[in-house]
Structure 1
Amino acid sequence: MKISLLFALAAVAALSVALRVPLATTVLGLIAFGVLHNVLELRYVAGRFGAVLRGRFLLVLFGLISAIVLCRLAAMFVGEPARYAEILVGYAVLAAGCAYALRGWPLGLAASVLVLAAAVSLAFPGYHFVVLAHLHNVVPLFFLWEFAGRLPRPAVFRWTQVAWVLIVPALVLLGAADFALGGVPASTVAAFAGDPGRIVAASAPPGSSTIIGARFLVVFAFLQTMHYFVWVYFLPRHAPDAARAFERRAPWLTGRRAWALGGGLGAALAVLFVIDYASGRALYGAFASYHAYLEFPVLLALLLPSGAASSQLVFRQTASERQEPAAVST
């Protein structure tokens, strides 16, 4: 029960802070852990799912996501056209994941769904990016669900994840925590971030009322904080085999070097955040595309292993790695 209790305590602490100061939680959390969690998440995903992220498939994904990075950088200057381009390339990433994971009629069905979804996203781009922002914070549920397979009693751990990822946000959005909301004032701690309305708009559907916007911001702040908890604390500590697998692929970025890289880049970007938050956020968002978009094809291969992926998507552990988590209690 130990690690399940750990998640429960972390969720209570994260929700308390998010309800009290959602704006500061969002802004300061991003500055403190944004870049570091990018590096550590990429290390985990590339190490744990190395059977997927290799060869031609990896090159295709790298090329497509690099195009998204360019779209986000271009959006700083040309605005909407670059956002529409990002939507199209984003669906191309999903299509690549489906092509890897599926064969036959399931692939044709997936292609039809993607075409329909892309049409909806292009028609309502504001909603598309809000959904994308929240979906990114929900993704750890799938990686933690897969991680639970190594635990002696995975059900307890898995339902703990469902509780904080899905149930708590649903209750907040339904108004169960409205008694604790105090609006979204411009916190003096995060005043340098500028107009709080822009931050709320990034996490709430277009045209949301004040109370709905506040609920969505709280949910985003809460899930973002737990997202950092997963990638910066929990998985590096409890899934060291993924880091070791990555280090075998990239021996020049081992151990402390990965932490130093994330911490150093984060500190440099923090200066820009404080000087010009909007520019810092845009630059961060562009290069964060690599970890954000790389998750989706891996998840598709994990959830839909019916094609080429069925023989290549291997989540094997060595005998020592199977024994290592044995001392960990759910």
Structure 2
Amino acid sequence: MATEALPSARPVPHATPGTLVAVFGVVATVALVTALRLPATVTVVGLAMFGILHNVLELRYVSGRFGAILTGRFLGLLLVLITGIMLCRLVPMLSWSAPAEILLGYLVLAVGCWWGLRRPLPRAAALAALGCAAVGSLTFPAYHFVFLAHLHNLVPLFFLWEWARDLERGRAAFRATQLAWVLLVPALILAGTFDPWIGGDRDGAVAAFAGGGERLLSAYAPPAWLDTALALRLLVVFAFLQTMHYVVWVWFMPRHARAATECFERRAGALRGRRAWLLGAAGAALLAVLFASDYAGGKTLYGAVASYHAYLEFPVLLALLAGGGPTKEQT
């Protein structure tokens, strides 16, 4: 399948793979200790400080790096569907909003499969699997949104894995490091390895500010697990992965994937240079004020705005895994 070449994402010359591995190791250790001791604080304060900023910077990277995929009718249809999801999130209390978001989310995935898969059999199999999954999500919507929250924090692994293909040496060590913090550390947390160090009672005031401990936990743990030790472990997992998620999009990609930024700026000159950072910082400041005055309202607004970066990454990944996305003729 003929595709347009993706821009290079080579790291800056002074960032050796060994240095990157060491930095990720140190950062992950600090993030883990903080998430263990103050899981609610890390989750709530991290979202207020870096939520909007990482949205802007992630969209900048994805649009620059995968501009050959996000074009034409494919991009237009995705934006229409994701805008529908945003509207559903703005009215979360209505009876139809959650089912509608679930259906629109699966349509986004279906578009990604249809666009990326060219052979009839794999395409049909993928769409059938999505149909079965959609039935399960509609039957158990609370489980669907908990799964989606955690899945979003795993997505950087795929972008980091793809970024590493341009490393001339040290690729295996770099990728192994990403697997360690994305998969191994959360597995150890869920297994209870770090239970003696979990300090969920130390930030109870933050949990109360966010609507109460049970409400906070319910966003990251399935309903059947809320009264078990796994609920707090899942909150710790989310706090840890969310922190690392922000590290990837706010520090790593802007510094070590500058070619993607340059590609984006050629297409969107209005956000050249520091303007994207200023936009993200301004959004973060406004969100922090809203959180302080009305946390529930702030969370709803953030969830709506975040729809674009949260859902746009999935069809891009599907297109990449399927072989690179649309041909020039299809854009």
Give the TM-score normalised by the residue count of structure 1. Answer: 0.91
1:115 equivalenced with 2:131 (yes/no): yes
Residue number in structure 1 paired with 2:173: 156
Whether the aligned pair in 2 keeps the contact of 1:40 and 1:236 (CA below 8 Å) is yes
| Counterpart among 154, 163, 175 of residue 147 in structure 1 | 163
| Counterpart among 281, 294, 302 of residue 284 in structure 1 | 302
| Counterpart among 211, 222, 242 of residue 205 in structure 1 | 222
| Counterpart among 91, 98, 102 of residue 113 in structure 2 | 98
| Counterpart among 216, 223, 242 of residue 224 in structure 1 | 242
Measured after TM superposition, the shift of residue 229 of structure 1 is 0.3
Give distance in 2, aligned partners of 1:98 and 1:249. 26
Alignment gaps of 5+ in structure 2: 1-17
Measured after TM superposition, the shift of residue 185 of structure 1 is 5.4
Give distance in 1, aligned partners of 2:123 and 2:144. 23
Alpha-carbon displacement from aligned partner over 1:285-309 (angstroms, at most 9, x marks no partner): 0110000000100000111117xx2
Residue number in structure 2 paired with 1:175: 192
Whether the aligned pair in 1 keeps the contact of 2:69 and 2:326 (CA below 8 Å) is no
1:11 equivalenced with 2:28 (yes/no): yes
- Superposition CA RMSD, Å: 1.3
Give distance in 2, aligned partners of 1:179 and 1:157. 30
Q: Secondary structure at the match of 2:223?
A: coil
Whether the aligned pair in 2 keeps the contact of 1:36 and 1:263 (CA below 8 Å) is yes
Give distance in 2, aligned partners of 1:3 and 1:179. 30
Residue number in structure 2 paired with 1:326: none
Measured after TM superposition, the shift of residue 189 of structure 1 is 5.2
Give the TM-score normalised by the residue count of structure 2. Answer: 0.90
Alignment gaps of 5+ in structure 1: 313-330
Alignment of 1:185-264 (within 5 A): 186-188=203-205, 191-208=208-225, 209-264=227-282
Report the more deviating stretch, 103-112 or 203-212. 203-212
Measured after TM superposition, the shift of residue 207 of structure 1 is 2.2
Give distance in 1, aligned partners of 2:86 and 2:112. 18
Aligned residue type for 1:114: L
Whether the aligned pair in 2 keeps the contact of 1:21 and 1:187 (CA below 8 Å) is no
Measured after TM superposition, the shift of residue 211 of structure 1 is 1.3
Aligned residue type for 1:247: E
Measured after TM superposition, the shift of residue 220 of structure 1 is 0.2
Aligned residue type for 1:226: M
Alpha-carbon displacement from aligned partner over 1:7-39 (angstroms, at most 9, x marks no partner): 111110000000000000000000000000000
Report the more deviating stretch, 181-190 or 286-295. 181-190
Measured after TM superposition, the shift of residue 190 of structure 1 is 6.0
Aligned residue type for 2:38: V
Aligned residue type for 2:282: G
Residue number in structure 2 paired with 1:21: 38
Give distance in 1, aligned partners of 2:294 and 2:34. 25
Alignment of 1:287-302 (within 5 A): 287-302=305-320
Distance change >3 Å, CA 138–CA 220, structure 1 → 2: same
Give distance in 2, aligned partners of 1:112 and 1:222. 34
1:45 equivalenced with 2:58 (yes/no): no
Give distance in 1, aligned partners of 2:213 and 2:207. 9
Aligned residue type for 1:117: A
Whether the aligned pair in 1 keeps the contact of 2:113 and 2:315 (CA below 8 Å) is yes
Alpha-carbon displacement from aligned partner over 1:81-108 (angstroms, at most 9, x marks no partner): 2001100000000000001100211101
Measured after TM superposition, the shift of residue 5 of structure 1 is 0.9
Measured after TM superposition, the shift of residue 197 of structure 1 is 1.4
Give distance in 2, aligned partners of 1:182 and 1:245. 44
Aligned residue type for 2:156: P
Alpha-carbon displacement from aligned partner over 1:221-243 (angstroms, at most 9, x marks no partner): 00000000000001100101111
